């Protein structure tokens, strides 16, 4: 599905997405809050966590991120009214 949503659009409202996630599940919010929005191409949003190690080690939420991806996708759908896929770079 093609979308006219841009990476800049997502960045501008990313806190809205995270706020919805936090209202549902704080652990899931913690798993995604440090993601860098790397790209949005062909309805695939790429989240990069390479910076999560900058404070002395990665937070270790990678398994939680995979399990809780549906909650993030639901929040994205609520904020932007589009269906995206998520690609995660550890």
Does the structure show a pLDDT above 50 at 5? yes
Structure tokens at 61: 């939420």
Structure tokens at 82: 């589009």
Sign of CA dihedral 53, 59, 64, 65: negative
pLDDT at 52: 57
DSSP secondary structure code for residue 89 in this structure? E
Q: Can you give the residue ranges of every domain in the chain?
A: 7-89
pLDDT tens profile 23-67: 999 988 988 898 899 999 999 999 998 875 555 555 555 555 666
Per-residue confidence band for 79, with pLDDT thresholds at 50, 70 and 90: very high
Could you identify the residue written with the tokens 């690609």? 87
Q: What is the mean pLDDT of residues 5-28?
A: 96
DSSP track, 20-87: HHHHH-HHHHHHHTT-EEEEEETTEEEEE-GGGGGGTS----HHHHHHTHHHHHHHHHHHHS---EEE
CATH topology of domain 7-89: GMP Synthetase; Chain A, domain 3 (3.30.300)
pLDDT at 1: 45
């Amino acid at each position: 599905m093609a979308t006219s949503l841009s990476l800049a659009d997502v960045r501008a409202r990313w806190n809205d997405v995270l706020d919805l996630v936090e209202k549902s599940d704080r652990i899931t919010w913690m798993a995604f809050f440090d993601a860098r929005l790397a790209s949005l191409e062909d309805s695939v949003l790429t989240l990069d966590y390479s910076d999560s190690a900058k404070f002395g080690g990665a937070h270790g939420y990678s398994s939680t991120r995979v399990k809780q991806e549906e909650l993030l996708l639901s929040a994205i759908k609520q904020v932007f009214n589009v269906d995206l896929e998520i690609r995660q770079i550890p």
